[in-house]
Amino acid sequence: MPIVDGVPEPGWSSLVRPARPIPREASDIHHITDEMVRDCGRWPLVLHNAPFDLPFIAALLRAGGCPPLGNPVIDTLGLARGAPDPDGGAPGLGEHSLGALARRFQLPIETAHRAAGDARTTARVFAELARLWERGNAAHSVAELAAESQDVVRRTRRERGAAAGPGLTARRPPETLFPLAGTPPVNSGAATYGEGPEEP
């Protein structure tokens, strides 16, 4: 819970799924059961240009001795690139940077390239994109949004690589991007996500 000018601000909390079953004696004290934590830690992660951020997150987890992420990953960059056109035209929303998407949806402008500002902007952009995908009858669940967003990022990466011409590579080859180095693939529906930066 953050404290700003001596005043507690709204915070956030969540239960955490431990690596082993919760002993009955412990449950008797805190009233937290295995059933209550079964799905904890599996919240979807929403990122903009996830292949850029995920290797950093993976390295921090490894350095801290933590297990790799197993969360579904939704990439707003992929959702923007593949957004269905309500008029039946080509998919996509033009410029796909986080700031451009915020302006397109007339969302509040936050401090760019700072964790809190980018997180708030990404959350707002995701809400708008999810509505677009739902209205376009293109995705109806978190798993579908995760899979679609990742498929679009991979497809556009391959297309950009092919457009660079023979012997040239616009991006690292897709096969080097998945999975996270030294870890099994992160499964989110029909897609996996992993290592490898890409510019928006």
- pLDDT digits 0-9 by tens, 116-164: 889 999 999 999 999 989 888 778 888 899 999 999 999 888 887 766 5
Helix (H) or strand (E) segment spanning residue 45: strand 45-47
Residue 198: inside a domain, yes or no?
no
Residue 7 lies in a domain: no
- Average per-residue pLDDT for the chain: 77
Answer yes or no: is pLDDT of 71 > 90. no
Q: Tell whether 27 is covered by a domain.
A: no
- Its domain, for residue 103, covers 43-63+71-193
15 against 169, higher pLDDT: 15
pLDDT of amino acid 93: 78
Q: Is residue 11 domain-resident?
A: no
139 in a domain, yes or no?
yes
pLDDT band at 188 (very low <50, low <70, confident <90, very high): very low
Long-range CB pairs of 114-122, under 8 A, 24+ apart, other chains included: 118/48, 122/46, 122/47, 122/48, 122/76, 122/98
Percent of the residues in the chain that have a pLDDT greater than 90, as a whole number? 35
Residue 144 Cα distances to 96, 131, 199, angstroms: 20, 13, 24
CB-based contact 108:124 (threshold 8 Å): yes
Q: How many domains does the chain have?
A: 1
Whether 17 is in a domain gets the answer: no
Q: Is the pTM of this model over 0.85?
A: no
What are 14's two structure tokens?
Answer: 């969540």
pLDDT grade for 12, boundaries at 50, 70 and 90: confident
Give CA separation, 24 vs 13, 31, 41, 56, in Å. Answer: 23, 9, 21, 37
> In this predicted structure, what is the pLDDT of residue 87?
66
Parallel, antiparallel, or unpaired: how do β-strands 45-47 and 73-75 relate?
parallel
In a domain, 8, yes or no: no
User: Does residue 18 belong to any structural domain of this protein?
Assistant: no
pLDDT at 162: 67
φ, ψ for residue 44, nearest 5 deg? -65, 145
Tokens for 17?
């799924």
